[in-house]
């Protein structure tokens, strides 16, 4: 089986990550809840992961690095926890439903939401976006990479185009682990992280990092092991946003993923770029195939195959060739609308994939195209 | 090291659970997001876990069994997702902050919250509770076992005492896996499950099961892999309440925990009862020790040691005797207030503990008591 669905979830975890998860389950206590040695040891490891993650992304403080169950929860905290009726925000048609659905919910409660279009290159039109941003715009919410095509905005340019006062909230689901992100350098106010894709963590891991200009209210309420006599959530972070027992094994996996990335960031990036370019070139040479992606460091290649429905093509590739990739809308409906597509086939490679697998996909697509 | 902090998190996982988690990380796709073989196989396993959990608790349908990151998220969905301004609810002073803090939040938004007291046995006074329940009371929210003392209400009697129309929402954090719970038999409308305690799953696992009388709104919004063109959350369950990538390894661990429990439920229960009784008897024979727990199937034994602060005692037991247990408030402030305590030492045993370990704890407490 060839796994090219790494943008849905990373199909391969480094041995170091797997071992760390195993160890975290083997010697397991509830971090931050009890004062005994094992609990404190677990808490110290959680903090080490928090520090590693914050430093990796140039975050604004270890307390402003909170662990979530996935990138969606992180985005919900940043959006539902920080926006209120009367706020004006601008987002884009390239967003995933993890942004669009919270914004739809908020728009019914008095938040004014505008969406920037794509430009003629099918990239997010950051100039059109900037024009939509009024001086009193509270926040721009933008993905750092389209999960459909891998198109990615120039965040430094975007930041320069919008008012300093406007918060910049970024969906890092696809981008984290693949490109160099530094929140302080890029003046990003919130970064939502998926742990289980480019970060090499396991499912159940995610994080929200945020600046001192953003002070999200909780979306979940519960025990924190701190200020237990206070029936309100503590005012301080990270406790304010981390209710209930933390997912220790997943957090450990994310911390270990950061370590792994630190040692192989450039090597992995080069490999992904090489495989992506090879795949794009190969697909462009197949008659009937339209490629919707340009070279990108996320390993995402979206394409269509004649008039074949994308889900049918993906199913054929799975059943007849044992190649796993994803058809359909990829939870990004407005992106497809903007592309004029009703679904695309998306291959997403990672650094654990190899040229031979790309060749096999090209052979398979060729066969389907010539039927 | 002796681990007696199983009410904070189960310190021992069955080999079958550990192996299943390992396998779930090894062969990993995003369930419900793609149509390829591996994704479908993962989705089928998620559904097998859903079925197992629903059947284990006599739930109201596989669609009404949703996975959460912990018991706290499950309680938040049941409370924030189902209660609105003007609703009257009754809860108890024995609740954990995972119930008290959401209720405090709701009480500021127009939900009328009353709390039932303890009776002279330090049990939840279900008769006083029932008297507080008016005919128009929307819901009773009650723990199935105090996480401080292990006291547990007679749910069948409680159900008979309150109006049929009143929803019964139960916090199963401590009780699940230890006692026989059947939602349909006991007319429970919502059961919040912690996966990582009595259920033998890993941290990051939890669930909410709910009846057809309860239709919670989401607390988190995002992609579901379904109805992707709909910018609102789907109306149907479980999708409506499961945004973003599911925590596949944790869910698998919970499903495997259910299997493990099914094969050893009575054996484990007998062992826990035996160890709990032995511990209570032993502690009662130590001068200066006051025991706050009666025999209970959750393995919880709370006690105080003369005038020694509970955290200090727990720290001494950890440092000098390598025994892990928890001092303090256990995130249940009103329970301590009702007990007249400002913190208790809590030992919590599980079926993986043994008599020798109980003896060691008794020796250690004896030494501290005679200082």
User: A101-111, pLDDT tens digit by residue?
Assistant: 999 999 999 99
Smallest Cβ distance to B72: which of A71, A220, A325?
Answer: A220
DSSP A226-260: SSTT-SSPPSSTTGGG--SS--HHHHHHHHHHHHH
Residue B27, pLDDT above cutoff 90: no
Whole-number Å distance between alpha carbons of A360 and A364 = 6
Q: Cβ of B222 and A328 within 8 Å?
A: no
A244, A325, A342, best to mutate vs chain B, most B CBs in 10 Å: A244
- Mean pLDDT, all residues of chain A: 97
pLDDT score, position A143: 98
3-class SS at A71?
helix
Q: Per-residue pLDDT tens for B113-157? A: 999 999 999 999 999 999 999 999 999 999 999 999 999 999 999
Residue A32, pLDDT above cutoff 90: no
All residues at 6 or more sequence positions from B330 whose CB lies less than 8 Å from its CB, including other chains? A228, B7, B96, B147, B148, B336, B344, B346
Of all residues in chain A, what percent carry a pLDDT higher than 90? 98
Residue B234, pLDDT above cutoff 90: yes
A228, A317, A321, A335, best to mutate vs chain B, most B CBs in 10 Å: A228
Whole-number Å distance between alpha carbons of A48 and A29 = 16
All residues at 6 or more sequence positions from B110 whose CB lies less than 8 Å from its CB, including other chains? B84, B85, B86
Please give, rounded to a whole number of angstroms, the shortest distance from the CA of A58 to a CA of chain B: 25
pLDDT score, position B32: 85
Residue A27, pLDDT above cutoff 90: no
Please give, rounded to a whole number of angstroms, the shortest distance from the CA of B331 to a CA of chain A: 5
Tokens, residue A115: 């969406």
pLDDT band at B14 (very low <50, low <70, confident <90, very high): very high
**If you measure CA to CA, which chain A residue comes closest to B7?**
A30
Q: Measure the CA angle with vertex B42, ends B38 and B44; round to 5°.
A: 115
What strands lie across the sheet with A345-348, from one edge to the other? A289-291, A300-305, A345-348
pLDDT score, position B34: 84
Give the closest residue to B78 by CA, choosing from B224, B211, B243.
Answer: B211
The Cβ of residue A47 has, within 10 Å, a number of other Cβ atoms equal to: 16
Global pTM exceeds 0.90: yes
Summarize the confidence of residues B70-95 as an average pLDDT.
98
Contact of B333 with chain A, judged by CB distance below 8 Å, is answered with yes
Peptide bond preceding A133: is omega within 30 degrees of 0, i.e. cis? no
Whole-number Å distance between alpha carbons of B329 and B335 = 9
pLDDT score, position B33: 84
Whole-number Å distance between alpha carbons of B100 and A314 = 48
Return residues 280-299 of A near B (CB < 8 Å).
none
Instruction: Give the dihedral sign, CA B183/B226/B27/A51.
Output: negative
Tokens, residue A80: 């539902």
3-class SS at A68?
strand
Summarize the confidence of residues A91-99 as an average pLDDT.
98
Helix (H) or strand (E) holding A53, with range, is helix A37-56
Summarize the confidence of residues B159-175 as an average pLDDT.
98
Chain B residues whose CB is inside 8 A of the A222 CB are 72, 75-76, 96-98, 101-102
Instruction: Give residue for tokens 């247990």.
Output: B325
pLDDT score, position B28: 86
Chain A residues whose CB is inside 8 A of the B231 CB are 97, 100-101, 104, 333
Summarize the confidence of residues A340-358 as an average pLDDT.
97
B222, B224, B239, best to mutate vs chain A, most A CBs in 10 Å: B222
- Mean pLDDT, all residues of chain B: 97
Q: Per-residue pLDDT tens for A137-168? A: 999 999 999 999 999 999 999 999 999 999 99
Q: Cβ of A223 and B75 within 8 Å?
A: no
**If you measure CA to CA, which chain A residue comes closest to B33?**
A8
Tokens, residue B142: 């009650």
Residue ranges in B138-213 assigned as alpha helix (H): 155-161, 183-186
Contact of B327 with chain A, judged by CB distance below 8 Å, is answered with yes
pLDDT band at A28 (very low <50, low <70, confident <90, very high): confident
Summarize the confidence of residues B252-279 as an average pLDDT.
97
Return residues 56-75 of B near A (CB < 8 Å).
69-73, 75
Give the closest residue to B358 by CA, choosing from B330, B326, B328, B323.
Answer: B323
Residue A273, pLDDT above cutoff 90: yes
pLDDT score, position A245: 96
């Amino acid at each position: 089986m060839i796994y090219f669905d790494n943008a849905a979830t990373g199909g391969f975890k480094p041995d170091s990550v797997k071992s760390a998860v195993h160890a975290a389950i083997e010697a397991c206590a509830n971090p931050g809840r009890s004062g005994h040695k094992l609990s404190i040891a677990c808490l110290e490891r959680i903090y080490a992961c928090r520090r590693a993650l914050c430093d990796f992304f140039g975050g604004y403080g270890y307390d402003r690095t909170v662990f979530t169950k996935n990138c969606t929860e992180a985005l919900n905290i940043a959006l539902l926890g920080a926006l209120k009726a009367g706020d004006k925000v601008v987002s884009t048609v390239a967003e995933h439903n993890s942004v669009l659905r919270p914004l739809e919910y908020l728009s019914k409660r008095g938040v004014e939401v505008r969406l920037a279009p794509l430009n003629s290159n099918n990239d997010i039109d950051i100039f059109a976006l900037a024009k939509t941003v009024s001086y009193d715009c509270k926040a721009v919410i933008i993905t750092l990479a389209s999960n459909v095509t891998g198109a990615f905005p120039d965040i430094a340019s975007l930041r320069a185009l919008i008012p300093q006062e406007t918060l910049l909230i970024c969906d890092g689901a696809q981008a984290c682990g693949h490109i160099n992100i530094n929140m302080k350098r890029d003046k990003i106010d919130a970064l939502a992280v998926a742990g289980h894709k480019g970060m090499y963590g396991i499912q159940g891991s995610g994080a929200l990092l945020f600046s001192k200009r953003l002070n999200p209210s909780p979306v979940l309420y519960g025990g924190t092991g701190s200020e237990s006599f206070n029936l309100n959530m503590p005012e301080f972070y990270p406790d304010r946003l981390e209710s209930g027992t933390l997912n220790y094994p997943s957090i450990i996996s994310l911390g270990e993923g950061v370590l792994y990335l630190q040692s192989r960031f450039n090597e992995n990036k080069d490999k992904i770029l090489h495989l992506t370019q090879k795949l794009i070139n190969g697909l462009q040479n197949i008659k009937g195939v339209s490629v919707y992606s340009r070279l990108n460091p996320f390993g995402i290649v979206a394409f269509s195959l004649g008039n074949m429905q994308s889900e049918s093509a993906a199913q054929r590739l799975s059943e007849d060739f044992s190649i796993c990739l994803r058809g359909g809308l990829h939870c990004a409906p407005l992106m497809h609308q903007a592309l004029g597509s009703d679904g695309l086939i998306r291959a997403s490679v990672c650094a654990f994939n190899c040229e031979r697998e790309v060749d096999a996909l090209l052979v398979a697509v060729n066969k389907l195209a010539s039927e």
